[in-house]
Structure 1
Amino acid sequence: MTTTLLPLATTPKHIAIIMDGNNRYGKAQKLAAGAGHIAGKDALDPIVEHCLARGVQVLTVFAFSSENWARPANEVELLMQLLEQTIHEQMPRMHKYRIRLRFIGDRSQLSPQLAKLMSDAEATTAQFDAMTLVIAISYGGQWDIANAAQSLARQVVDGSIKPDDITAESLGQAVQLADLSAVDMLIRTGGEYRISNFLLWQAAYAELFFTPTLWPEFTPDELDRMMQDFANRERRFGMTSEQVQSGAAQTAE
């Protein structure tokens, strides 16, 4: 972890990370097939601890996308095994640091064993309040929004709401993580400049950060530099700089 934490003017409440670059790391290091994913799994722990030390409320990480099912079968099998292993390994840490563990994504494609492991982990840590770690498994932002729309459509059919009741606000309450704060920072490692169908609704006003660093080499120090950058950015949410500054001045009074 970073030994000296400089004060932050603003701490992001919710950080989301696309953990990209595991395969390329493994190839660059001439590791055995799949070893890059293992290295990526091990890289998560110090990032979680750093977020906790910084007072971040929610950390959401993209572990397996809905599109990843199209990868070679042996790689998918390895990733599912690593996800199970990650959950087992994280549980003692969740209890130690009192971190709530949650999962988002389409669980219908997961094995019953993995789905039960996820549900049990959520139930066991539900009362912890130091931070929330969200792991996205079999998740896609488009699936998330479509799933929310289907939920509202069913309510229209059963008569509990009218079509005109469907608004941006009601749809926002039906997507995954609706009970948590919106994403403030969205980080992608690995040198790609896209968000790859991750948290499309929740990250509508997120500050975006891209780094060429491959995920297994991503460190708390680099994360902290991004957090310092975030604290210096002006987030306008559609307003002018003058409006934002005026609002900040009124808050300070």
Structure 2
Amino acid sequence: MTIPLQTVGLTKNYGGLCVTDAVDFSLEPGARHALIGPNGAGKTTFVNLITGVIPPTSGEIRSFGRDITNMAPRQRVKHGIARTFQINSLFPQLTTAENVALAITERTGAASRMFSRVERDAELERETVTLLEDLSILDMANKRIAGLAYGQRRMVEIAIALAVKPQILLLDEPAAGVPTNESRAIIELLERLPSHISILLIEHDMDLVFRFANKITVLVEGHVLLEGDCAQIRSDARVKEIYLGRRHG
């Protein structure tokens, strides 16, 4: 079985500070895997290493058996790796459908010629509508991003990530800053994501984590403290003290 994503001894140093400490990690096919840890644990740094935003100091990143350690971010997207960010980066004056359509044209290489054929526009519209319909957010298609609630914008970000047809999806705190009354919709959207996509979720909302994930990795000070299923993570005294307990809420 080829592992979609694997890191071996992945390390990132900034001078004398080690923020990612020899992390060995595997994301299995179709995984629903969560990465948790207190603030400053190195979770986002780990995702930035995987996506090529920053280079590692040492170690290796492999995807489907291929070494991608030195691959550029754009190449990693074409290799099947997509992500969302803690802070959304949508085009606020465009509609939901237009934002998603732009991502599709970037994937297909049609951005420079998307207006050259009526048929191409029809194909683009069909794919956009199908994606929004599959995620049950088609009612937002013609609404401008600027007019959407924050939780709805996070859902559009996920739709855009799916528009590039990834095999691996990294979700960096999709519920961050989302009011409680909107987070339920995000959880339900996550549960509708295609089962063939391997997903790594970075999240502080433990209700979301325990509902979504079938495997959890706990990161503390850049190294892996523990990895296991939800029951193992819930019952571990170290996790309760470091992350789930009073010290980190």
Q: TM-score, normalised by structure 1?
A: 0.32
Higher helix share: 1
